[in-house]
Amino acid sequence: MEAKRVAVAGFGNVGKGVIEILLQKQIQELKLAKIVVKHPDKSRPFNVDPNLVTTDFATVVNDPTIDIVVEVMGGIEDARSLIMDALQNGKDIVTANKAIISSGAEIFSLAAKQRRIIGFRGTFVGCNTLIHDLSLSAGRIHKMCAILNGTCNYILSRMSRLGVSFEQALKEAQEQGYAEADASEDIDGLDTARKIQILSGVINNTFNMPSDVFCEGIREITMQDIQYSRELGYIIKLVGMVEREDNSATIFVRPVLMPQGSLLASVEDANNAIELEDNFGVVSILVAPGAGTYPTAVAIINDLLDIAHGDTSMMPTSSTPIILNDAGDIEARYYLRLTVIDQPGVLAQITRILGDHKISLASVIQKAEVSAKAVSVIVTTYTVREKELRAALAKIDHLEVVKAKTMVIQILA
């Protein structure tokens, strides 16, 4: 087998890892043929033959000897047009670009037309080991519940284990290099949302991935929530969830309470995990490191090897969109943290409204003082439809005795 000639566009963190492996590891199926960079004179962590380097996408796209283009430059418009041009010229593509893949119907269609392969393991690097089984078993997976963002999992683990505040934990995540200076993509759940959009496409065998899913981040989780959850036997994790029904799926990203001692709850720090439940109820879980130059670069190398071996099984083949169920129709138990005036009769007002909406309470804790004037009341409900709960809370949050917006967190059974 002749080695595939690979061009790498981008020499940032991930690009550096890919280039380093291609240069140093003597992988017989792959040969580094070109590197596209913005700044050719920038100093690099290792020596690269200057003949390999160009600043011009066109030299790569128009070079008939290049077989595969690795897009790791980031951004959207330039990256997308590079990918489209490369596909048009008959090249296979590997990318770790979540924004592009999660809205990638156009490029997947072109790839199908051109009989080219798009490798995208790097978009969910943490559990990319499962890619063949996720795609080849598409249709057999009933439910996926996944921890996909190392920064959020690190923050929640630190808060839970060491009792540090959200702000402190975020600062530590930034110092550890898990979180960017602007970590909002991570902590507002957008990174997880993109990954779960992509994974929902994979397990539904469609490249027409949902463009918008219900998404809540972890910014409003307080130490109180962590502590009360623990008292109730739970741990808080940010998850992406896909639950398939016959012709539709419920997909969301949100923090949830999950039972202590469950395998998913034991996934700590920057690890990622995917829990799968098949159509027959059998559950398995894959855990893997979710971040870092090296895992992402290795994910890309694995895509390159699959392409070199002619393996197309990781590619979704259908263009049928997934019909999304209304997140308001989620039926679950919920954790509520109410902030109320500490005076007689307050709880009665609240429980009356919940009762009017046929919402039964599983437990009530009233303990910590938020201030001289307000206390937290923690309520867990029995199973209720989310929109019914939201309707009740709209009224409750308007009561004069309620002093802040009520915190709502879904409980995973």
Catalytic residues: 195
What part of residues 244-263 is at the interface with a copy of itself (CB under 8 A)?
Answer: 263
Does residue 155 touch a copy of itself according to CB under 8 A?
Answer: no
- Neighbouring residues of 219: CB distance < 8 A, sequence distance ≥ 6: 166, 187, 188
Residue 375: closest CA among 383, 384, 365: 365
Tokens of 290: 């979710």
Does residue 302 touch a copy of itself according to CB under 8 A?
Answer: yes
Indicate the residue among 118 and 330 with the shorter CB distance to a copy of itself: 118
Q: Which part of the chain contacts a copy of itself (CB under 8 A), choosing from 2-10, 71-79, 102-110, 278-286?
A: 278-286
Classify residue 47 by burial, with Cβ atoms within 10 Å: 0-12, 13-18, 19+: exposed
Does residue 285 touch a copy of itself according to CB under 8 A?
Answer: yes
Classify residue 123 by burial, with Cβ atoms within 10 Å: 0-12, 13-18, 19+: buried
Rule CB under 8 A: choose which of 13, 174, 227, 266 binds a copy of itself: 266
Rule CB under 8 A: choose which of 140, 161, 352, 367 binds a copy of itself: 140
Rule CB under 8 A: choose which of 52, 289, 318, 324 binds a copy of itself: 289
Residues in the interface with a copy of itself (CB under 8 A) total 36
- Report, in Å, the least distance between residue 45 CB and a copy of itself: 17
- Report, in Å, the least distance between residue 331 CB and a copy of itself: 24
Does residue 413 touch a copy of itself according to CB under 8 A?
Answer: no
Indicate the residue among 117 and 346 with the shorter CB distance to a copy of itself: 117
- 72 strand-pairing partners: none
Residue 83: closest CA among 52, 117, 54, 55: 117
* Amino acid (one-letter) located at 332: A
Do 148 and 191 touch, CB atoms closer than 8 A? yes
- Report, in Å, the least distance between residue 154 CB and a copy of itself: 16
Indicate the residue among 259 and 289 with the shorter CB distance to a copy of itself: 289
Give the Cβ contact number of residue 284 at 10 Å: 12
Q: Which part of the chain contacts a copy of itself (CB under 8 A), choosing from 152-160, 182-190, 211-219, 301-309?
A: 301-309
Q: Which part of the chain contacts a copy of itself (CB under 8 A), choosing from 152-160, 284-292, 323-331, 353-361?
A: 284-292
Indicate the residue among 275 and 386 with the shorter CB distance to a copy of itself: 275
How far is the C-alpha of 119 from the C-alpha of 138, rounded, in Å? 17
- Report, in Å, the least distance between residue 286 CB and a copy of itself: 5
Does residue 21 touch a copy of itself according to CB under 8 A?
Answer: yes
Q: Which part of the chain contacts a copy of itself (CB under 8 A), choosing from 233-241, 295-303, 376-384, 388-396?
A: 295-303
Indicate the residue among 126 and 210 with the shorter CB distance to a copy of itself: 126
Rule CB under 8 A: choose which of 104, 122, 217, 295 binds a copy of itself: 295
* Amino acid (one-letter) located at 82: L
Do 179 and 269 touch, CB atoms closer than 8 A? no
Does residue 276 touch a copy of itself according to CB under 8 A?
Answer: yes
Rule CB under 8 A: choose which of 137, 262, 325, 351 binds a copy of itself: 137
Binding footprint of a copy of itself on the chain (CB under 8 A): 21, 25, 127, 129-133, 136-137, 140, 263, 266, 276, 278-289, 294-295, 297-298, 301-302, 305-306, 311, 313
